[in-house]
Every structure is written in C-alpha cells, then in structure tokens.
C-alpha cells in the first residue's frame, strides 16, 4: 500500500500543481494566505499563489498576507532570515489580534488597514533604524 505521508514533495505538471495548491490553500484559510516560490538554479520567483487577482484590483479588499509571506520566502532565500522572522511575527500578531482582518478572514478591514496593522506590529519588533543592512 502506498503511504503518501512518506513524501515531502509532490512533483507534477503546472496545471495539476496549480489545482493542488488551490485545494491545499483551503486547508489553511484560503488563497489569501498561501505564498508561492519557484526556485531554479539561476533564478527564483516569489508570488502570491492566487496570482494578480485582477477581479479585485483597486477595490481595497485584497488580503496581502500571501504576498507578505512570499516576500518572507524571498528574504529567507536571500539570507535575511531575521528580517523575514520579524515580518512573519508582525503578520502573526495582526492575525491573532483579529481587529484588522480582511473580509476573506471574517473581518471588515480594507487592504491598507490590514497592511497598516502589520506595519504597526513590525514597528514593535524591529530595532530603530530598520532591519535590513
């Protein structure tokens, strides 16, 4: 009998990988929370799994979490682990506080209100003068 838990990675064609990533994102709260990374030998691309979401562009309703987490993956890739950890911590504090959640997370905050809450928590985490060298 095949045990899928023995595998750490699923390798598939793009279309099936896209379907799987969308389905799996539902397990953590939706596409608004899922970051993506495409790593090659000479290049890396980091993005929100949901893509550009043109249907909600400019409406102030997008959840920026997946994009922030993708940025954290990029920071990790660049060796900026401490900065990535600070951003993740600020993001977690914002989500746990529950006061500035976007509509997909059950709140009524707009994109900028959510981002400002994350930045406020980030200000609590990072030393004065910024974090990146």
For residue 133, being part of any structural domain is answered with no
For residue 132, being part of any structural domain is answered with no
CB 102 within 8 A of CB 66: no
Domains held by the chain: number: 1
For residue 102, being part of any structural domain is answered with yes
pLDDT higher than 70, residue 57? yes
Tell me phi and psi for residue 19, to 5 degrees: -60, -45
Q: Which residue has the higher pLDDT, 60 or 6?
A: 60
Query: 72 is in which domain, residue-wise?
Result: 8-125
Torsion of Cα atoms, 81 then 119 then 25 then 40, to 10° = -40
Helix (H) / strand (E) element for 128: namely none
CB 120 within 8 A of CB 113: no
Q: Please state the length of the chain.
A: 133
Confidence tier at 10 by pLDDT (50, 70, 90): confident
Taking only the tens place, the pLDDT of each residue in 59-89 is 999 999 999 999 999 999 999 999 999 999 9
For residue 2, being part of any structural domain is answered with no
The winner for highest mean pLDDT among 10-14, 52-56, 68-72, 121-125 is: 68-72
Q: Global pTM? A: 0.80
């Amino acid at each position: 009998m095949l045990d899928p838990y023995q595998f750490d990675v699923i390798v598939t064609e793009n279309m099936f990988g896209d379907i799987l990533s969308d389905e799996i994102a539902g397990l953590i709260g939706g596409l608004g929370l899922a970051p993506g990374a495409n790593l090659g030998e000479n290049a890396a691309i980091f993005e929100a799994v949901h893509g550009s979401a043109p249907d909600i562009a400019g409406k102030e309703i997008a959840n920026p979490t997946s994009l922030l987490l993708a940025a954290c993956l990029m920071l990790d890739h660049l060796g900026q682990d401490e900065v990535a950890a600070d951003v993740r911590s600020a993001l977690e504090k914002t989500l746990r506080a529950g006061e500035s959640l976007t509509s997909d997370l059950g709140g009524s905050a707009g994109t900028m209100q959510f981002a400002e809450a994350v930045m406020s928590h980030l200000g609590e985490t990072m030393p004065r003068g910024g974090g990146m060298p």
